Amino acid sequence: MKWLEVSLRVDGELAEAVADVLARYAPNGIAIHVDDLAEASTEGSAPSCVTVTAYLRVDDETPIRQQRIEEGLWHLSQIQPLPSPSCRVIEEENWSDLWKAKYQPLPIGERLLIVPAWHPVPEGDSLAIILDPGMAFGTGLHPTTRLCLRAMEEYLKAGEAVVDLGCGSGILSIAAVLLGAGEVRALDSDPLAVENTRENLARNEILDRVRVQTGSLPLLLDENQSDRKADVLVANIYAIVLAELLDSGLTQAIRPGGTLILSGIMKHQVETLQTKCEAYGAKILERRQEGDWIALILQTPASGRAAEH
């Protein structure tokens, strides 16, 4: 059996978007390799050079899948320029080793380390998050994910209850447990994301430490009694969705005076979203930026009730 290797060398901010396109037609594996791990772990900087690689089984359908990948990448390039993918055919016996070699442990912040499932956990004091890199979203390469992880590292206190809203791969829930959270709840409206989260929690041997559910804010508000509200809520979602969540009572989903970490916000969206947060009584504690992406760290109203909008 032979495989077609399709790879692109792109800016770190584009890695997960490119991986998402490739994964639609290459279910056997996506590899994301950061050329300079030291650069990737530096506060406030996205890795400038990342190689995203997909592997397609060579058969009669390969030309069609390759064409669709190229079309998908073309559409993505209309938003931000992309290089043309490079392609080569490799033999079956080389595929697994090549794929795994391209994905190495990635340090985030001061203590966190993202480790591919097959890679030995390096010795030291780092808190290892073991992930399957075949899942494109939530690998830690995108600035929005790193902004959340660093904010959690600094703001989450041992024993606090955490809500991971829009959990994706479960990376933030895993980090919450490793950072000492007393209780973690993960929600996502996508059943596939919920399944991925459970798989990664099991991979990290903490499945029993996180309550995972299919659902979003309405479920959280319906079930969260005032004496059970979380201390920290983190949401790494598109800004337009964050705005809708704020209108639906997001600031009431955690305890009065709790910490709200919002990411997935682009520079041109932040002022509007920040104004909405303040209108609902949330106090801006910090505004962090990496590349074109911004995270807001807020404190919810001490009264527990939103301000008039």
Give residue-wise pLDDT tens across range 20-62: 888 888 766 677 776 654 444 444 455 567 888 888 888 888 8
Residue 234 confidence (pLDDT) above 80:
yes
Nearest to 213 by CA among 247, 281, 164: 164
Q: Which of helix, strand or coil describes residue 278?
A: helix
Residue 90 confidence (pLDDT) above 50:
yes
Burial of 89 (0-12, 13-18, 19+ CB in 10 A): exposed
Percent of the chain predicted with pLDDT > 90? 44
Give residue-wise pLDDT tens across range 249-285: 999 999 999 999 999 998 899 999 999 999 999 999 9
Beta strand 161-165 with 230-236: parallel, antiparallel or unpaired?
Answer: parallel
The C-alpha R_g of the chain, in whole angstroms, comes to 20
Show Cβ contacts of residue 65 under 8 Å, excluding neighbours closer than 6 positions: 25, 26, 56
What pTM did the predictor assign?
0.73
Cα distances (Å, whole numbers) of residue 100 to 54, 134, 203, 275, 298:
12, 10, 17, 45, 39
Q: Label residue 31 left, alpha or beta by phi (over 0 means left) and psi (-120 to 50 means alpha).
A: beta
Distance between CA atoms of residues 226 and 177, nearest Å: 23
CATH topology of domain 2-102: Alpha-Beta Plaits (3.30.70)
In this prediction, residue 290 has a pLDDT band, given cuts at 50, 70 and 90, of: confident
What architecture (CATH level 2) is domain 143-299?
3-Layer(aba) Sandwich (3.40)
Question: Which sequence spans correspond to the domains of the chain?
Answer: 2-102, 143-299
Burial of 275 (0-12, 13-18, 19+ CB in 10 A): exposed
